[in-house]
Amino acid sequence: MKVPFLDLRSVNLRQKKLLNEAFESFLDSGYYILGNNLSKFESEFAHFSGSKYCLGVGNGLDALVLSLRALNIGPGDEVIVPSNTYIATWLAVSQVGADVIPVEPRIGTYNLNPELIQDKITERTRAIIPVHLYGQVAEMDAICSLAAKSGVFVIEDNAQAQGATHLGKRTGSWGNVNATSFYPGKNLGCLGDGGAITTDDEQIKEKILMLRNYGSKIKYYNEIKGYNSRLDEIQAAFLSVKLSVLDMDNAERRNLALYYNRNLKNIGDLVLPELLCDSVFHIYVIRTKRRNELQEYLSSRGIGSLIHYPVPPHLQKAYSELNYKKGSFPVAEEIAETCLSLPLFPGMTAEQIEYVVDNISKFYSE
Ligand SMILES: *Cc1c(COP(=O)(O)O)cnc(C)c1O
């Protein structure tokens, strides 16, 4: 048997009929950029997220960059980011010329530890970017009240947790402005690149409308120096289809995660995700000291797995100018050295997940 880490083809083929219909109607419309498919999806996703406004942009990294620009964050400013995240969170801050101030996660949730934030807040701090890593919602109530008290903005990086709810409130509705990605592998993925920003703030919405379209509100009149970063009509049409099944897909992800948690309990030195009811399990991450060995063993039995992420941002060559060393952020480093993401995707069969569990048990009993 073969169990891929993620079978995106089969995930998308489950909606083949609806996606084909969406494509045909897009093609017939003759409209490619900033048209009705986009406005329709934007109002659907705003409603879904419990936000007033949604603006489609080119990708998740741009969604973060435009969010920072909309808040006038730039050179001389500091932005608090998790030490354990996909590098895009850091790159967005660097792209607007601000300084990243990394804060360590809790080892149990892999998310920003709010207790460590206060000490990092200075006169230059302008925003905190919590990431809902692996689909697990960050501690938004604590983070938002600390931010409000300190007079700094919150920008959610919601690339990995579309559809998650925390204290009855969806991700993407907590921050002053919130960024998400529709990269194909995300919980809400399109068939190419895409991203969006959600906010309740009308001024921020107006600024992002300009920023994503060359800094222009009226064609050929440019008020600010903007970008070209728009969500394509074709992707918006596909996303309306994908959004209609997102809650179902997420429920399936959670069931698979529950199965893993029940059946991998007390095996070897495995550390399983804390099954906080908030998670939509973008990925299912376990930890073990024998990570590389386990990954090889699974691979030799046709089971795909990945490491999210092998090198934390502070140890990447791209950030060598910050002079961080091994030991600078030990929690992020410990996660990078021991984490392994197991196969998990909507449509994964009972036989497939049993096969993964059986082989992990075998690995530890041999
Ligand atoms: C995927 C991702 C991004 C970037 O999204 P792209 O659409 O690939 O640019 C940003 N932050 C996190 C946490 C991500 O997982």
What pLDDT does 64 receive? Answer: 98
Single pTM value for the model? 0.98
- Nearest to 283, CA basis, from 308, 263, 261: 308
For atom 10 of ligand 1, which residue has the closest CA?
88
Pocket probe mutation, ligand 1, options 6, 79, 84, 86, max atoms within 8 Å of Cβ: 86
The one-letter code for the residue type at 12 is N
Residue 92 CA: which ligand 1 atom is closest? 10
Q: Tokens for 301, please give them.
A: 């039995």
The one-letter code for the residue type at 207 is K
Q: How far is CA 283 from CA 29, 105, 107, 290, in A?
A: 37, 17, 16, 20
What pLDDT does 231 receive? Answer: 98
- Report the percent of the chain where pLDDT is more than 70: 100
> Strand runs (DSSP E) across the chain, as ranges?
53-57, 78-82, 99-103, 125-128, 153-157, 165-166, 169-170, 177-181, 195-199, 216-218, 221-222, 284-287, 339-342
Degrees to nearest 5, angle at CA 94 with 88 and 96: 110
What pLDDT does 277 receive? Answer: 78
23 C-beta neighbours (distance < 10 Å), count: 15
**Torsion angles phi and psi, residue 127, rounded to 5:** -155, 160
Q: Is the dihedral of CA 14, 238, 187, 251 positive or negative?
A: negative
- Kindly state the average pLDDT of the residues 27-47: 98
Asked if 281 and 257 touch (Cβ cutoff 8 Å), the reply is yes
pLDDT tops 90 at residue 275: no
**Torsion angles phi and psi, residue 251, rounded to 5:** -65, -40
- Kindly state the average pLDDT of the residues 281-293: 98
pLDDT tops 90 at residue 85: yes
- Kindly state the average pLDDT of the residues 99-122: 97
CA of 158 to the centre of ligand 1 (A): 9
pLDDT tops 80 at residue 276: no
CA of 89 to the centre of ligand 1 (A): 7
Mean pLDDT, the chain, rounded, equals: 97
